[in-house]
Amino acid sequence: MSLKVYINGEILPQEDAKISVFDHGLLYGDGVFEGLRAHNGRVFKLTKHIERLFESARAIFLEIPMTAEEIKEAIFTALRANNMKDSYIRLVVTRGVGKLGLEPRKCSNPQVIIITDTIQLYPPELYAKGIELVTVATVRNHPESVNPRIKCLNYMNNILAKMESINAGATEAIMLNKDGFVAECTGQNIFMVNGEELYTPHPNSGILKGITRDTVIDIAKGRGMKVMEDFLTRYDLYIAKECFLTGTAAQIVPAVKIDGRIVGNGKPGQLTQELLKEYRKLLANPEVSETFESLETGYSRP
């Protein structure tokens, strides 16, 4: 069955879900996006994702032509149109159609696109085995250039880093910032365990402030752990007892090798596994995952 895609209020079959070649989202990567997940009909941290979308849009002077509540409704409309309870949701807002040339003010009608599909970043065996990471030469975007806090449509920085990790035979790339501090991976945040403490790069290290990252910090603090958001070096990575990556698509992935050095005993760490278990439990928790029914929007079901 063909997937149905939401574009500007319409639900279209995948084959007809098209936008103009003059859209600046395509021509210049001018736009913002979010990646969310639905589990059993609940969208995890929906409000947080929508807030981040609006913040990204504000940072690039992009006015989203819908309210947060309308976007929530649209997400559930797309899920229902596909009869999907479990899904990876890609929410995209492009600058819209314009003339050739960068001028964003000449673009009309930002396009709001919602794709509800599935995603598998890594095969399941890698969660059991752990992945190998390498630090790469491609530096994470300078915060005064395109701040990595903006989840924008231009991911070339990340794609170049990803290519480097592929060329090096590793699963994922660790990007450093302009000062040489650890930033993040190409689509995930990074954590490490040292002593009794959990460490992750400071939000001003040149990272996207991941929603999974913040969730893991909360889980760890709830367990009474000390969590340090810090400026971390490759040395900190090399002496880590455990290391893992976080992201909406990947959830929590253990890393067992960094730049050829074995992490801990070379197996996914104990704490990493416990955090993943707790994270997966949270996905079903109504307090953090919104359902269609939890929205009092007046939208009538088809």
Ligand X SMILES: Cc1ncc(COP(=O)(O)O)c(C=O)c1O
Closest CB to ligand X among 172 and 184? 184
The 3-state DSSP class for residue 211 equals helix
Could you give the count of Cα atoms lying within 13 Å of 212 in the half-sphere of its Cβ? 26
Q: Which of 117, 44, 39, 11 is nearest to 288 (CA)?
A: 44
In angstroms, how far is the first alpha carbon of the chain from the final one? 19
| Count of residues in the chain | 302
Q: How far is the CB of 120 from ligand X (least distance, A)?
A: 15
Alpha-carbon radius of gyration of the chain? 20
- For ligand X, the closer of residues 126 and 175 by Cβ is 175
User: C-beta of 37: minimal distance to ligand X in Å?
Assistant: 9
Contact by Cβ (8 Å): 292, 161: no
Binding stretches for ligand X (CB under 6 A):
35, 158, 184, 187-189, 208, 210-213, 246-248
Minimum distance between the CB of residue 53 and ligand X, rounded to whole angstroms?
A: 11
Whichever of 189 and 200 has its CB closer to ligand X, that residue is 189
Q: Report the nearest approach of ligand X to the CB of residue 21 (Å).
A: 25
Q: Which residue type is seen at 184?
A: E
Q: Which is nearer to ligand X, 87 or 158 (CB)?
A: 158
Tell me the backbone φ, ψ of residue 142, rounded to 5 degrees.
-65, 130
**Given the complex with ligand X, which of 97 and 135 has the nearer CB atom?**
135
Helix (H, G, I), strand (E, B) or coil at 90: strand
**Shortest CB 158 distance to ligand X, Å:** 6
